[in-house]
């Protein structure tokens, strides 16, 4: 199994078609089909289901694609590091929770861009669990995540300590007991969100059973719904400056044992540390507002 065969296999898998892959590769379709069959014979297993509607990966094909993605990612990474002359350049893909993307990242990204304008930045938002998975599978170079991060394959550096708050409609006064607030519907992001996990742990410890949970995939939708009186939400207090301009929201204190969470930047331990990532971590430490 050579790299060229893997390159051909990967292109067919990504395109979902031998003809489209052949066009992308500028390679004869018949020759491409032959190379894939030779690879299947070498591995002793079919990699694609061939049917009237096209092709789909087999289970073994999915496994090989995962390894091929990692291999080509490592090759690109190695090339980048070996060509590294100490100057930040190229591209950097960063993951973040949506909350950090609107409160923490702007000043970090702005400062980084001013210092290293030749680096192309991209940001992918998602809950912490999703960002961690994307770092592990090398989709992302690194990510900002909340809470304890202990993984054998990851490095982590704390960037900021956030104070958490319960958000409700302004109809509830600041002195409203949290037991009354927590009996309202909980407005949460999908499972894997660190703030949701903290809230659920708090509820479990207090033996409080909310009316229901309403799951959103948008932070803006959550705060709009809190303002409208649908329920309550737990997020960093810093979000108040972003969403409280209409005075429709109220912040409530959280018990000390649940009041703080650390935001960390994580990256793979086996990722070769080039100047681009190293300089980003430095800027994140400087501008993160760590307490």
d(CA 198, CA 16): 41
Domains, the chain, ranges and CATH?
Answer: 3-82 (1.10.10.10), 90-161+261-287 (3.40.190.10), 163-258 (3.40.190.10)
pLDDT of residue 1: 80
What's the CA dihedral at 186, 189, 194, 196 to 10 degrees?
10
161-191 exposure pattern, b = at least 16 Cβ within 10 A, e = fewer: ebebbbbbbeebeeeeebeebbebbbbbbee
Alpha-carbon Rg for the chain in angstroms? 24
CA 58 to chain centre: 27
Copy the structure tokens of residue 100: 């950090």
pLDDT of residue 69: 87
Q: At what angle do helices 29-43 and 3-15 cross, to 10 degrees?
A: 110
Residue owning tokens 């995939």: 217
92-110 exposure pattern, b = at least 16 Cβ within 10 A, e = fewer: bbbbbbbbbbbbbbeebbe
Copy the structure tokens of residue 183: 């009996």
Q: What is the mean pLDDT of each run of 10 residues along the chain (291 residues)?
A: 89 89 89 92 92 87 90 79 74 93 93 93 94 91 89 92 93 89 92 93 88 90 92 92 75 92 93 85 84 46
CB 143 within 8 A of CB 94: yes
Q: At what angle do helices 18-25 and 3-15 cross, to 10 degrees?
A: 120
Residue owning tokens 């927590």: 182
CB 127 within 8 A of CB 192: yes
* pTM reported for the whole predicted model: 0.72
- What does the H/E/C string look like for 160-219? EEEEEEEEEECCCCCCCCHHHHHCCCEEECCCCCHHHHHHHHHHHHHCCCCCCEEECCCH
Copy the structure tokens of residue 7: 């390159």
CB 22 within 8 A of CB 7: no
* Helix spans in the chain (H): 3-15, 18-25, 29-43, 59-82, 98-103, 105-115, 128-136, 178-182, 194-206, 219-227, 240-243, 275-287
CB 288 within 8 A of CB 172: no
d(CA 160, CA 162): 6
Beta strand 48-51 pairing with 119-125? unpaired
192-229 exposure pattern, b = at least 16 Cβ within 10 A, e = fewer: ebbbbbbbbebbeeeeeebeeeeebeebeebbbbbbee
pLDDT of residue 36: 92
Q: pLDDT tens for residues 94-147?
A: 999 999 999 999 999 999 999 999 999 999 999 999 999 999 988 899 999 998
């Amino acid at each position: 199994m050579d790299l060229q065969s893997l390159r051909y296999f990967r292109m067919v898998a990504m395109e979902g078609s031998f003809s489209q892959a052949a066009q992308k590769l500028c390679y004869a379709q018949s020759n491409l089909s032959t190379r894939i069959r030779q690879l299947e014979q070498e591995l002793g297993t079919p990699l694609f289901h061939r049917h009237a509607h096209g092709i789909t990966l087999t289970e073994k094909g999915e496994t090989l694609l995962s390894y091929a993605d990692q291999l080509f990612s490592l090759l690109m990474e190695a090339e980048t590091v070996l060509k590294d002359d100490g100057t930040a350049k190229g591209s950097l893909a960063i993951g973040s929770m949506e909350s950090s993307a609107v409160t923490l990242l702007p000043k970090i990204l702005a400062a980084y861009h001013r210092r290293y304008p030749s680096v192309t930045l991209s940001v992918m938002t998602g809950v912490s669990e999703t960002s961690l998975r994307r770092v592990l599978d090398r989709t992302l170079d690194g990510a900002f995540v909340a809470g304890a991060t202990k993984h054998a394959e990851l490095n982590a550096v704390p960037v900021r300590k956030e104070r958490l708050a319960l958000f409700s409609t302004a109809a509830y006064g600041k002195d409203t007991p949290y037991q009354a607030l927590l009996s309202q519907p909980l407005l949460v992001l999908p499972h894997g969100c660190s703030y949701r996990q903290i809230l659920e742990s708090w509820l479990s410890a207090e033996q409080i059973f909310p009316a229901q949970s309403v799951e959103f995939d948008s932070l803006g939708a959550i705060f709009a719904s809190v303002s409208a009186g649908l329920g309550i939400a737990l997020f960093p207090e810093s979000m108040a400056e972003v969403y409280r301009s209409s005075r429709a929201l109220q912040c409530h204190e959280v018990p000390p044992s649940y009041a703080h969470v650390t935001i960390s930047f994580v990256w793979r331990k086996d990722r070769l540390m080039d100047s681009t990532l190293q300089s980003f971590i430095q800027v994140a430490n400087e501008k993160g507002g760590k307490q």
